[in-house]
Structure 1
Amino acid sequence: MSNRNLQAGRFKRAIGLVQRDIRKASESRGFAVSKLLTNWAEIAGEQVAAIARPVNVSYAKGGFGATLTLLTTGAQAPMLQMQTERLKERVNACYGYAAIRHIRITQTAPTGFAEGRADFEHAAQAPQKPVPSKAQQEAARETAAPVADDQLREALARLGANVLSRSKSS
């Protein structure tokens, strides 16, 4: 008996444990395809995901021509409005057919809404870059010392210090 068969009887994939709960929660908000919620950053793109969250999908009486409601901050709403056609195409590609006909944008304060799940200020911030230590800066300067051009030597020293700080923090 193979190792794979032994594991299949003992372990379950994590998604199998929560898939039913995710589907139930997403369907209560109109999301027939929970992939839209779970993979929002991939579907919408990192820039849109940093400024907007899907909140609801409401369907018309016939079942076609749904409206996707997005939550964003007031300052980001005009930028998001300009991207609605492209976003609609990407969301419909997720559904596999033209399920979404309209995108409605709802504005909120930067700290999110009542459920506390949309923290746009922190989502839009870039992660902190590691700062090179004095020893790393000195090692980089020593390595770049043979370079004759002052500007190039300084640039190489900065680059070297940044590379050293990232390799130590990983």
Structure 2
Amino acid sequence: MARDAKPFRPRREMQIAELANGIIDPVLARRAGISTALLGSWDEIAGEQFADCSRPEKIAWPRRDASDEAGGYRPGVLTIACEGAQALFLTHAQGELIARINAFFGFPAVHQIRIVQKPVSQTAKHRPRPQPLKGEAARRLDGMMEGIEGDALKKAVARLGTAVLQKKR
């Protein structure tokens, strides 16, 4: 072995999703101002009513001026693609949606939503819903959810538990 050569050290195992997100996130951030985390969590953020008919497209951040004395952060405008008549309902629910988006980010990232009425990807529409659990798996999940008080949290845990405990096809 040469004097300057470093010994081989295997890297930790990585999932393909980690590698893909590491490549895609900088591109999405530069082009659209969003991340794969927002796209991946959109179903929970948008809620059952808007998950299948909408998707975030980009966040337009305001430009910073040299004359801007505050020099601080200013929230952006989120553009959402929405299908058909659901765009009207989304318009009425945008206050709640802005609050959910900002809660997801952990800071006031968005102050306004711009809705663009157009078709949303077909892949999101035809995503199979998990079948309800039966038998021992259902009883096991019910036992795990004892003590959870909030309805929204209980539903989220039930969805996660159903996906995890379901038998692989």
| TM-score range relative to shorter protein | 0.5 to 0.7
**Between Structure 1 and Structure 2, which shows a larger proportion of helix residues?**
1
**Cα deviation 1:33-83 (Å, max 9, x = unaligned):** 431112111222232111111011001124512000000123111111111
Q: TM-score, normalised by structure 2?
A: 0.57
Alpha carbon RMSD of aligned pairs, Å?
Answer: 3.1
Equivalent pair of 1:51/1:124 in contact (CA under 8 Å): no
Q: TM-score, normalised by structure 1?
A: 0.57
The counterpart of 2:18, out of the listed 16, 19, 33, is 16
Residue 42 of structure 2 corresponds to: 40
- Superposed structure 1 runs of 4+ greater than 4 Å apart: 124-127
Equivalent pair of 2:61/2:76 in contact (CA under 8 Å): yes
Deviation (angstroms), 1:92: 0.5
Residue 54 of structure 1 corresponds to: 56
- Structure 1 vs Structure 2: percent identity of aligned residues? 30
Q: In the alignment, residue 29 of structure 1 is paired with which amino acid?
A: A
Quote the Cα distance in structure 1 between the aligned partners of 2:36 and 2:58: 12
The counterpart of 2:89, out of the listed 71, 79, 93, is 79
Residue 151 of structure 2 corresponds to: none
For residue 50 of structure 1, give the secondary structure of its aligned residue in structure 2: coil
Residue 165 of structure 1 corresponds to: none
Q: Which runs of 5+ in 2 are unaligned?
A: 1-9, 65-72, 132-168
Equivalent pair of 2:59/2:76 in contact (CA under 8 Å): yes
Deviation (angstroms), 1:19: 2.1
For residue 69 of structure 1, give the secondary structure of its aligned residue in structure 2: strand
**Aligned: 1:92 with 2:102:** yes
Q: 1:125 to 1:79 in 2, by over 3 A?
A: farther
Quote the Cα distance in structure 2 between the aligned partners of 1:44 and 1:123: 14
Q: In the alignment, residue 20 of structure 1 is paired with which amino acid?
A: G
Q: 1:96 to 1:125 in 2, by over 3 A?
A: closer
**Aligned: 1:119 with 2:122:** yes
Q: Which runs of 5+ in 1 are unaligned?
A: 1-7, 113-117, 130-169
Residue 145 of structure 1 corresponds to: none
Quote the Cα distance in structure 2 between the aligned partners of 1:90 and 1:50: 17
**Cα deviation 1:3-44 (Å, max 9, x = unaligned):** xxxxx956323333212122123212111x431112111222
Equivalent pair of 1:35/1:94 in contact (CA under 8 Å): no
Quote the Cα distance in structure 2 between the aligned partners of 1:125 and 1:38: 13
Quote the Cα distance in structure 1 between the aligned partners of 2:12 and 2:96: 44
